[in-house]
Structures are given as C-alpha cells and as structure tokens.
Amino acid sequence: IPGALLWGVVMAFLSLIPAVGAGIVWLPVAVYLLATGSVWEGIVLIAYGAVVIGLADNILRPLLVGRDTKLPDYIVLFSTLGGLSLFGITGFVIGPLVAALFMAFWDIFMREFNVDGQSG
C-alpha cells in the first residue's frame, strides 16, 4: 500500500471514533487489495481488522479504561501516552488517573466558584 505510514497515523486518530473509527481506513484498504488482485492480502486484512482491531476497540478498551470513567477517548489516549513517557510502564495507570483527578477537580472548581457566569 503506498503511504502505509500515513494511513497508519490516520487510522490511529480515527480510532478515537467509537465502534467504526479504524474501520474507516482498513476496510477500504482491504477492498482496494481485493480489487487489485491481492486477494490473499485483502482477506487477511479483513480478518485481522475484524478480529484484532475490532476486539481492541470494542472489548479491550472498555475493560482496560473502564466504562464508568466518563473520560473522553482522546483524553484517555493522551493521558496514557503522557503517563508512559513521563513515568514509564506505571504511567499506563498514573496518566489516566491524573487526568481523571484533574477533570474532577476542574468540575468542582467550576461549580463552587460559579465560573459559568450565573449568580446565586
């Protein structure tokens, strides 16, 4: 595939869209491979995308991150990457934890100090 690195980066960002994000990239690429005669590669990509990528997006992400965190996916992604770069392997837990605490403190601050402009 020409520009595979570019498509990999695009797929990483589109994977933030729940359920269908990464499929927006790998499914058309699989169809392209099938149409250009690379049938075996297209079938392998469809199987890999449906099983591995679909499993990671729809089953593992809620299990690892938790359904009740109420953190947007992009915050989880960036806080995990930031935690890993700052703290190493323990940053996998510390990064999202710090992000969740910050968002909770920010919400309390906004409510307590009436920052939204309402009086009362």
Q: Are residues 61 and 102 in the same domain?
A: no
- The angle, 0 to 180 degrees and rounded to 10, between the axes of the packed helices 23-35 and 39-48 is 160
Ranges 20-34, 37-51, 61-75, 83-97: which has the least confidence: 61-75
Whether residues 2 and 61 share a domain: the answer is yes
Within this chain, do residues 53 and 78 fall inside the same structural domain, yes or no? Answer: no
Per the CB < 8 A criterion, the answer to whether 29 and 46 are in contact is no
Residues 116, 77: one domain? Answer: yes
Determine contact, residues 28/14, Cβ cutoff 8 Å.
Answer: no
Q: What pTM value is reported for the model?
A: 0.48
Q: Which domain holds residue 89?
A: 67-120
Based on the fold, state whether residues 47 and 9 are members of the same structural domain: yes
**Residues 49, 89 within the same domain:** no
Written in H, E and C, the secondary structure of 57-98 is HHHHHHHHHCHHHCCCHHHHHHHHHHHHHHHHHHHHHHHHHH
Answer for the pair 23, 53: CB distance below 8 angstroms, yes or no: yes
Residue that is last in its domain, among 49, 65, 81: 65
Distances from the Cα of 9 to the Cα of 25, 32, 37, 70, 120, angstroms: 10, 19, 25, 25, 48
Please report which confidence band the pLDDT of residue 43 belongs to, taking 50, 70 and 90 as the band edges.
Answer: very high
pLDDT digits (tens, 9 = 90+) for 89-106: 788 778 888 988 998 898
Do 77 and 61 touch, CB atoms closer than 8 A? Answer: no
- Which residues have a Cβ under 8 Å from the Cβ of 86 and sit 6 or more positions away? 94, 95
